[in-house]
Amino acid sequence: MALVNLREMVYHAYRNHYAIGAFDIVSLDFLHAVIGGAEAQCAPVILNLVEHQFHLYDFEILAAAAVCAARRAGVPVAIQLDHATTTDSVLRGIRYGCNGVMIDGSELSFEENVRLTRRVVDVAHSCGIPVEAELGHVARRVGDERPGSRDQPVYTSPDEVKLFQRRTKADFLAVSIGNVHGQPVGRGQLDLTRLARIHALVDVPLVIHGGSGLSDAEFGCLIDRGVAKINYYTMLSTVAARRIRGNAIEDRAGAYGTLVNGVREVIQQEVERCLALWRAADRADAVLSEVAPWSEVEHMIVYNTIDESDEPVLDMMAEGRRVLGNIPGVRRVVTGRAVTKDAKYRYCWLVRFAHAAVINTYRDHPAHVEFANTLFRPRADNRISIDFTEVNDLTDRERDTTPAPIAG
Ligand code: 13P
């Protein structure tokens, strides 16, 4: 299982002077190509699910596929919700499998950005999830697929970064220094002096969005100045679209399979090129041995009740699924009844937490306290519970899989 702690992964890159590629995935072709590229380069990688691209796919389904592919991958993989704009969106991202989130308050005033980011940091950290924030605003150009895209950049002010960092406690900081979303290569003009000042002021990994617009030579300069994560999409979309157009020209009557033939391969080639350029190639083994795996926790209770029939228990279960399923960090609530009537325990709850940090968050959450004290405990007088993480291979046998606590 190669789903790993995103915070530790990015800090590994920060300490060891390379950058993790964070590639947007918008379909299964992109997902396979990004993982394939990382495996070919033996590099750690981040899969980005981007809020403003949700019109292109069903988030819940692609997120589930990303989790499945990450677990199966031979390299360390993390999954980030990118450009979330609300706390609700962040909570949804965590629920469906993201183990890192980016909150984009870059179009707000400084004060509003601080307040939104801090709110998200508080709730995400209570779920063990790290947060990337953006200070300044990375502008959008024509290649950015958001409707009506094109706006003006606001460069990150070195005078604001320290205060922003202290007040928000974000884990990583996306900066605007001339990088632009959705731009053809080589059009930007990076302010590396500004980046160096920011790097000297805050000891957090810096993030560059708009990787597609940068020339090969610029990446090394960024990494040398504290950049440990690079977001990249437009060029992947460009090579994929070019391939589809080429296929259509070659075979005008071509069916779907003909039109998308080779798309994965060209995306993968571009991913491989980036990972090598960003010094991430051949880092997978070091990350796998030094970075904690990402482990969900299952909270399981088996119980009997004082009730003579199932009816009141089924009502309580329905209420529990509704109330408990909305607690931050809860990924799903399963309620069950034993198959045989003479089972030692007749009912169960299985509540999946995104991370071990959710054990305390859940226990102390007012909705849980109220439900447990008024509806569950008075009727479930006979119960046992366990919080467990999955043990499934030799690696788990050898290491303590207790997820590391999040800093901040
Ligand atoms: P590009 O599409 O310009 O590579 O930027 C991607 C990005 O920053 C996603 O957050």
Of 285, 275, 281, 291, nearest in space to 21 by CA = 275
C-beta of 182 in contact with ligand 1 (< 6 A): yes
CA atoms lying within 13 Å on the CB side of residue 384: 4
Q: Which atom of ligand 1 is nearest to the CA of 237?
A: 2
Query: Topology of 297-388 in CATH?
Result: Alpha-Beta Plaits (3.30.70)
6-290 and 297-388 agree in CATH topology: no
Q: How far apart are CA 15 and CA 205, in angstroms?
A: 9
Supply the DSSP symbol for 211: G
Q: Which of 24, 185, 235 to mutate to test the pocket of ligand 1 (most atoms within 8 A of CB)?
A: 24
C-beta of 231 in contact with ligand 1 (< 6 A): yes
Report whether pLDDT(395) > 60. Answer: no
> What tens digit of pLDDT does each residue of 299-354 get?
999 999 999 999 999 999 999 999 999 999 999 999 999 999 899 999 999 999 99
> What tens digit of pLDDT does each residue of 208-255 get?
999 999 999 999 999 999 999 999 999 999 999 999 999 999 999 999
58 is catalytic: no
Q: How far is the CA of 22 from the centre of ligand 1 (A)?
A: 9
Please classify residue 157 by burial: count the beta carbons closer than 10 Å to its beta carbon, then call 0-12 exposed, 13-18 middle and 19+ buried: middle
C-beta of 211 in contact with ligand 1 (< 6 A): yes
Q: Which of 234, 239, 273 to mutate to test the pocket of ligand 1 (most atoms within 8 A of CB)?
A: 234
> What tens digit of pLDDT does each residue of 350-372 get?
999 999 999 999 999 999 999 99
The pTM of the full predicted model, rounded to 2 decimals, is 0.94
Q: How far apart are CA 230 and CA 245, in angstroms?
A: 28
Candidates 3.40.50.20, 3.20.20.70, 3.40.250.10, 3.10.180.10; correct CATH number of 6-290? 3.20.20.70
C-beta of 156 in contact with ligand 1 (< 6 A): no
C-beta of 188 in contact with ligand 1 (< 6 A): no
> What tens digit of pLDDT does each residue of 96-155 get?
999 999 999 999 999 999 999 999 999 999 999 999 999 999 998 766 666 666 778 899
Domain ranges of the chain: 6-290, 297-388
Q: How far is the CA of 177 from the centre of ligand 1 (A)?
A: 14
Which pLDDT score is estimated for 408?
43
Q: How far is the CA of 215 from the centre of ligand 1 (A)?
A: 14
Q: Active-site residue among 24, 82, 104, 171?
A: 82
Supply the DSSP symbol for 54: G
Q: Which residues contact 252 (CB under 8 A, 6 or more apart)?
A: none
Amino acid at 200: A
C-beta of 21 in contact with ligand 1 (< 6 A): no
